[in-house]
Amino acid sequence: IVSDSKYTIAASTQHCSHWEDIGWIEVANAHLIRSALYRLRARSTPTTFAWVKGHSGNTGNESADMEAACGALFDGTDKTLLRINLTFDVQRAKLHSLTQSLSYHSLRNFCGHTIRPTTLTCLSDIQLVIDDRTGLLPTTASIWKSLHPCDHDIEHKSRDFLYKGLHNALRIRSFWTNIPRYID
The tens-digit pLDDT sequence of the chain (184 residues) is 888 889 989 998 999 899 989 988 888 888 888 888 888 888 888 999 988 888 788 888 888 888 878 877 766 666 666 777 777 777 788 888 889 998 888 888 888 777 788 889 889 998 999 999 999 888 888 888 888 777 667 788 888 888 888 888 888 777 777 777 766 5
Residue 76: which domain range? 2-111
Q: Looking at residue 135, what DSSP letter applies?
A: S
CA distances from 57 to 17, 29, 72, 176 (A): 33, 28, 22, 60
Q: Are 135 and 84 part of one and the same domain?
A: no
Q: How many CA atoms lie within 13 A of 117 on its CB side?
A: 1
Instruction: Answer whether 137's CB lies under 8 Å from 143's CB.
Output: no
Give the chain's domain count.
2
**Considering 59, 91, 111, which residue would you say is the last residue of a domain?**
111
Shared domain check, 16 and 64: yes
Tell me the β-bridge partners of 3: 51
pTM of the model: 0.59
What's 149's DSSP letter?
A: T
Q: Give the total residue count for the chain.
A: 184
Last residue of a domain, one of 69, 84, 111: 111
Question: Are both 81 and 10 inside the same structural domain?
Answer: yes
